[in-house]
Amino acid sequence: MSRVSLTPIVDQSDLDDACHRLAAGTFICVDTEFHRETTYWPELCLIQASCEDYEVIIDPMAEDLDIGPFLQLIADPSRPKVFHAARQDLEIFNRLIGHPPGPIFDTQIAAMALGIGDSVSYDNLIQRVLKRRIDKSSQFTDWKRRPLTDKQLDYAMGDVTHLRDAYQEMLKRLEAQDRLNWVQSEMAQLVDPALYDTSPENAWKRLKMRKPNKEYAAVFASVAGWREDKAQKFNKPRRRILKDDAIQEIADQKPQSEKAFERLRAVPKGFIRSKYAEGLMDAVYAATSDPDAHAPRLPKRQHNPEMPAGAPEMLKVLLKAVSDEANVVPRLIANAADIEKLARGETSDDIAALTGWRYELFGRKAQALLSGKLALSFENGQVRLFEL
């Protein structure tokens, strides 16, 4: 039988025992509570974990508690780690153990293959899969404050006990419908270290570069890297150092004096003289002085073939019809970029809709539609497909 304790672990021997019991399971459900509204690095406040017949809450803020045994447990690749909307939790563990703790099962992704919803919330998932309602009133409480209330702890524990039941039910459904492989590649992408790269030299990749001009790109990348370095140094959110719009404007205007910075609309008045701005002017000067050394290598702009009028719209109708029939979220089959490439007649290997199960479900029909071998019609409000 499951032992439910709402007392968080604060003692090292208790943690060692808990990790031993969790290690006896074939999977580990994990959730965290953290704080990052005013910091660059997430502050881990609570860890909840469960396996088939055991659940526990760990207090990583407890004095003298070393959570290393738990980190070793989830770093072990021999069992899946189950999360809901795993990205932020994985970011935390990536920093703590040096890599994402795969393999991962993300119930939010699995929900797409079961037709439950796109980016479905945890409480909605539990209601749809388990017919249970969750009290979310403690979701946005202060998890740093001690002691935690019984209501907070009950809410926290529910995040892995309900998750455990949902995981086992969803896994059973996926296997019964032969759809587990539909989501495994999506989940595998979550353990790509590049997703959690915080190196300043790659910071520009998170932003949209608006111009291919080399000097603009050099300043853009240089200032983005400067901001990333400062945000980490001061442990402040990036936006608290400098907003994205300001980076765009600096790359456009290339200011190299205090007076020039003061004329910028997106940069706060007086910012260039603040402690946070140290090195900013030097970064701009260095980039403009030697653009070749500071501009990132950008892919050459390709000339896209002419897109037939109405092709994307036809493909979207087809995708909706196919996804409705299969009871799967359309975005899992093909995203907007896939639709555009297909509409242009592209057949490259990087189009997910032309590979594996997606091709059998949609890609083959999409190519037939575009080549005139398949037609769409409406009957009684339903889309019908006809081979020609």
Q: So what's the pLDDT on residue 304?
A: 64
Instruction: Please name the amino acid found at residue 182.
Output: W
Ramachandran assignment for 383, one of left (phi > 0), alpha (psi -120 to 50 degrees), beta (any other): beta
Report residue 2's pLDDT band, with 50, 70 and 90 as the boundaries.
very low
* Residue 360, pLDDT above cutoff 60: yes
Instruction: Please name the amino acid found at residue 112.
Output: M
In a 10 Å sphere around its CB, with 0-12 CB exposed, 13-18 middle and 19+ buried, how is residue 349 labelled?
exposed
Residues 6+ away with beta carbon under 8 Å from 149:
none
Structural domains in the chain?
12-196 (3.30.420.10), 200-294 (1.10.150.80), 311-387 (1.10.150)
Instruction: Please name the amino acid found at residue 237.
Output: P
* Residue 136, pLDDT above cutoff 90: no
DSSP state of 363: I
Average pLDDT over residues 226-238: 97
Closest Cα to residue 238, out of 281, 265, 203?
203
* Residue 349, pLDDT above cutoff 90: no
Total Cβ atoms within 10 A of residue 44: 22
Q: Is 120 in contact with 107 (CB distance < 8 Å)?
A: no
Q: So what's the pLDDT on residue 4?
A: 52
Q: What is the pLDDT of residues 289-347, one digit of tens each?
A: 999 999 998 877 666 667 788 899 999 999 999 999 999 999 999 999 999 999 999 98
In a 10 Å sphere around its CB, with 0-12 CB exposed, 13-18 middle and 19+ buried, how is residue 215 labelled?
middle
Report residue 1's pLDDT band, with 50, 70 and 90 as the boundaries.
very low
Q: Is 319 in contact with 332 (CB distance < 8 Å)?
A: no
Q: Which residue, chain included where needed, has tokens 């396996």?
A: 51
